[in-house]
Amino acid sequence: MSNVQNRGWSVTMAGLGINLALGILYTWSIFKQAIKESVMAGDGMFTWDIASLNDPFAVCCLMFTAAMVVAGRMQDKLTPRLTAMIGGVLTGAGLIVISQSNALWVWILGFGVLTGMGLGFGYASATPPAIKWFPASKTGMIAGIVVAGFGLASVYIAPLSNFLIAHFGLSKAMLIFGVSFLTVVCLLAMFLINPPPGYVPAAPAATNKAAVATVGNDYTPTQMLKTAAFYKLWFMYFIGAGAALIIIGGVAGMAKSSMGSLAWVVVALMAIGNAGGRIAAGIISDRIGRTMTLLIMMSLQAAIIFSLLFIGESEAFLLVTAATLVGFNYGTNLSLFPSVTKDYFGMKNFGINYGLVFSAWGIGGFIFPRVSQMIVAHTGNQHTAYLLCSILLVASAAMSMTTKAPSKVTPEQSVWAQFRGALLSPKFK
């Protein structure tokens, strides 16, 4: 298949562009702040309970991950192009729905369910076709570039959101975003294409041996679920994502007292860190290995979130620095976990396998922000949540040191098969 034109970079850039549109999720803190101000002012526009402010965001994270499993299977079996187009339609439809009502249940349905599902379909379709065009030694880098768009989106969506909300109101801003993203994602989806069957990307002249060794087996989802490695990866992803999403979902409110109308700058800088972490972790993990990179990033995240216990909302510089670093370390998860999923469980069923691993992100995104908002409602601050997250991140860092690729023994010859074989051996007769 050497005569096949390599379309890897055009597919990668299309995936990056799709994620740049879908990254509206990380601008939730700005929407939430506008809703909170309406609730506190008692102007009658939004009448939500303060403890429910994160509910649309939490449901969005949950639906995102549920859709990832379905969408991962669809892009494995059908085409990433169709999967991405469904994502664009659902994302846009959800934003259009919430532009028509301020009721909490409508926002949960629109932003939480429809947009959440749309994000899952779009996100699931962007990375797999891109990494299929490149050799294994570039998996981390390409995955990092594609998913960087999702993290980087807030750099332009945050200031644009503030502008649109100030001039047109929150509802019309959602309508503009809905129509725009539906159009952009569906257009870019046309560029997503898998390599033809039998295509083997040209390997570089020299490969780095430090990266995690690839297993060589293509695991089915059922086989993957029988490995200890899956559950370790799932737990680490659950903690790494959930802990950071507490900060991401509320950073605009944290910065409001010290930065006023410029609070969006913190969101944008966190987005830059988020995108930078995805690319940096991808490149670094290609060189030193996935689990070693996880150990470093989880440890750093624990230290940074713990430091928030000592940073006041009026200390703008420290707050911006911490938020940027939280974004950076969070971003590393979004390139490390798809890369390690491909390394450990193969490329054939990568879409659905990563969808199952990614469920940790969704459940973490559902549980952590909801619990955090309940803590704030009862205590008035996030300190307890920060302390709990730091402890869990340290536990995740420790777990990364025991995580390795499953045995090269085929899954059918796993623990049960070996035990059965031992019972039937001559020594037991």
242 belongs to a structural domain: yes
The mean pLDDT value for 268-274 works out to: 79
Q: What is the CATH number of the domain that holds 93?
A: 1.20.1250.20
Give pTM, 2 decimals.
Answer: 0.74
Q: Which residue has the higher pLDDT, 164 or 33?
A: 164
Domain residues for the domain of 162 are 8-193+216-406
Residues 6+ apart with CB under 8 A from 257: 313, 314
202 belongs to a structural domain: no
The mean pLDDT value for 174-182 works out to: 94
Query: What pLDDT score was predicted for residue 8?
Result: 81
pLDDT winner (highest mean) among 40-44, 55-59, 139-143: 55-59
Dist CA 344 CA 229 (whole Å) = 8
Query: What pLDDT score was predicted for residue 87?
Result: 93
Contact predicate 146/130, CB 8 Å: yes
Q: Give per-residue pLDDT as tens, 139-164.
A: 778 888 888 888 788 788 888 988 99
Site of tokens 């670093």: 325
* Tokens, residue 330: 């969070």
199 belongs to a structural domain: no
Q: Give per-residue pLDDT as tens, 293-312.
A: 989 999 999 999 898 888 76
Q: Which residue has the higher pLDDT, 329 or 316?
A: 329
148 belongs to a structural domain: yes
Dist CA 22 CA 310 (whole Å) = 34
Domain count, the chain: 1
298 belongs to a structural domain: yes
Provide the pLDDT confidence category of residue 51 given band limits of 50, 70 and 90: confident
Residues 6+ apart with CB under 8 A from 270: 26, 154, 247, 248, 251, 323, 324, 326, 327
The mean pLDDT value for 105-124 works out to: 93
Dist CA 157 CA 225 (whole Å) = 38
Query: What pLDDT score was predicted for residue 429?
Result: 44
211 belongs to a structural domain: no
Site of tokens 């070996």: 418
* Percent with pLDDT over 70 in the chain: 86
1 belongs to a structural domain: no
Dist CA 381 CA 387 (whole Å) = 12
b/e per residue 9-25 (b: at least 16 CB within 10 A): eebbbbbbbbbbbbbbb
Average pLDDT, the chain: 82
Residues 6+ apart with CB under 8 A from 81: 125, 189, 190, 192, 193
Site of tokens 């008692």: 42
For the cut 50, the answer to whether the pLDDT of residue 388 exceeds it is: yes
For the cut 80, the answer to whether the pLDDT of residue 314 exceeds it is: no
Contact predicate 353/59, CB 8 Å: no
Dist CA 364 CA 121 (whole Å) = 19
For the cut 50, the answer to whether the pLDDT of residue 215 exceeds it is: no
225 belongs to a structural domain: yes
Q: What backbone phi and psi angles, to 5 degrees, belong to 289? A: 105, 150
Provide the pLDDT confidence category of residue 254 given band limits of 50, 70 and 90: low
For the cut 80, the answer to whether the pLDDT of residue 88 exceeds it is: yes
